[in-house]
């Protein structure tokens, strides 16, 4: 396994999950913990970063706290047994409910199971209306992400989280990203080379991606607000709107970064969640998205430039077979940024486009 990434959860048994199979539990209980000293540290980090990169701006994000995944053998199980215990997301045959503590896989242990065991109690949400996966989300923001996950003091923050809350991720932002393995009509997977001006992984190959936006959810619910005014209470009664944004945001990122019309994209299929250990285990939901255009048509649209054309400098195509064969021994692997590596690992595991 590559120490930069690991797979937190995969949906291989179902070859990925459609939107109707995913639900969200949104609560302030799933926000990060904090104190005045940490808030001052975050402010200092933000001020320093903006002085060097004045194009940066803050925005609200969803924070992944934990998840519950149904058992492949018993897909309608509620996972509500009082004595059910888990090791980690890798043990998916009986259904798992994984908390922030299990999200904590260090680079050294990225390929091994977590050492935590805990009884699952009746606060686990039941999987209703045919859903198989429940994501527990709070709120965070990009500023908090830079001041925690990317802080020079991240090791200390993890130690404090473990000591004070028995959770090494309690003080970290952990914003949930999204990414897409985008496959063209002629069987090519789309990668883009990141600009040197982006905040992370400049010059490396990536997949189209970004973040689901709480502000978009609020606007769709008629709760328009500034980024610093967004609150869980504005969305918690309509969790299906958050799920909709999770799935639609990945298509919006493809449109904006690759300049592909939404009408040419198939329904996103959630393959799973990968962790980026170069940013303290930041999670990203990775999707498979088909496209009715050929790679030549995609290339022509890309070079015309979309709304976020400044974020990349080139488009690269690999055949489906080339992507399935990628590993650490491949020359191209070192050119992939961590988010692309995580998506490739999930694509190889889930194979959502196989009949």
**CATH number corresponding to 5-69+130-350:** 3.90.79.10
Per DSSP, 219 falls in state H
Question: What are the tens digits of pLDDT across the range 277-306?
Answer: 999 999 999 999 999 999 999 999 999 988
pLDDT of residue 117: 33
From the CB of residue 136, how many other CB atoms can be counted at a distance below 10 Å? 22
Question: What are the tens digits of pLDDT across the range 234-275?
Answer: 999 999 999 999 999 999 999 999 999 999 999 999 999 999
Range with lowest mean pLDDT among 29-33, 90-94, 287-291, 325-329 = 90-94
Domain boundary assignment for the chain: 5-69+130-350
Q: Are strands 205-206 and 209-210 parallel, antiparallel or unpaired?
A: unpaired
Three-state SS at 273: strand
Tokens representing 97 are 């409910």
From the CB of residue 129, how many other CB atoms can be counted at a distance below 10 Å? 8
Do residues 129 and 70 lie in contact, with contact meaning Cβ atoms separated by under 8 Å? no
The pTM of the full predicted model, rounded to 2 decimals, is 0.87
Burial of 51 (0-12, 13-18, 19+ CB in 10 A): exposed
Distance between CA 240 and CA 102 in Å, rounded?
25
pLDDT of residue 71: 77
Q: Is the pLDDT of residue 217 over 60?
A: yes
Range with lowest mean pLDDT among 75-79, 130-134, 294-298, 335-339 = 75-79
Distance between CA 75 and CA 89 in Å, rounded?
16
Nearest to 205 by CA among 303, 283, 314, 288: 314
Q: Is the pLDDT of residue 14 over 70?
A: yes
First to last CA, the chain: 27
> Alpha-carbon Rg of the chain, whole angstroms?
19
Sign of CA dihedral 313, 319, 323, 327: negative
Question: What are the tens digits of pLDDT across the range 46-97?
Answer: 999 999 989 889 999 999 999 999 877 655 444 332 222 223 343 444 456 6
């Amino acid at each position: 396994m590559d120490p930069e990434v690991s797979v937190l959860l995969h949906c291989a048994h179902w070859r990925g999950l459609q939107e109707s199979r995913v639900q969200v539990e949104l609560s302030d209980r799933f926000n990060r913990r904090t104190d005045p000293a940490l808030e001052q540290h975050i402010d200092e980090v933000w001020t320093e970063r903006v002085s060097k990169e004045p194009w940066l701006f803050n925005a609200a994000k969803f924070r992944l706290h934990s998840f519950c995944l149904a058992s492949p053998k018993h897909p309608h199980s509620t996972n509500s047994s009082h004595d059910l215990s888990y090791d980690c997301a890798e043990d998916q045959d009986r259904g798992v409910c994984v908390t922030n503590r299990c999200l904590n896989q260090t680079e050294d242990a990225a390929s091994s199971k977590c050492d935590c065991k805990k009884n699952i109690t009746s606060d686990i949400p039941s999987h209703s209306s045919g859903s198989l996966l429940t994501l527990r989300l709070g709120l965070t923001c990009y500023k908090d992400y830079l001041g925690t996950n990317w802080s020079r003091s991240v090791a200390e923050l993890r130690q404090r989280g473990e000591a004070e809350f028995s959770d090494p991720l309690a003080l970290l932002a952990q914003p949930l990203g999204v990414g897409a393995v985008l496959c063209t009509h002629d069987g090519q997977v789309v990668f883009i080379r990141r600009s040197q001006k982006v905040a992370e992984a400049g010059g490396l190959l990536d997949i189209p991606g970004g973040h689901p936006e709480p502000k978009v959810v609020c606007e769709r619910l008629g709760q328009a607000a500034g980024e610093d005014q967004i609150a869980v209470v504005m969305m918690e009664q309509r969790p299906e709107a958050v799920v909709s944004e999770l799935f639609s945001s990945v298509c919006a990122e493809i449109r904006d970064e690759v300049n592909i019309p939404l009408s040419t994209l198939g329904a996103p299929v959630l393959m799973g969640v990968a962790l980026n250990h170069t940013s303290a285990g930041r999670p990203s939901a990775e999707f498979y998205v088909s496209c009715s255009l050929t790679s030549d048509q995609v290339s022509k649209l890309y070079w015309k430039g979309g709304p976020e054309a400044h974020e990349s400098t080139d488009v690269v195509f690999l055949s489906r077979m080339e992507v399935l064969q990628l590993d650490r021994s491949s020359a191209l692997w070192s050119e992939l940024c961590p988010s692309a590596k995580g998506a490739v690992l999930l694509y190889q595991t889930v194979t959502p486009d196989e009949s």
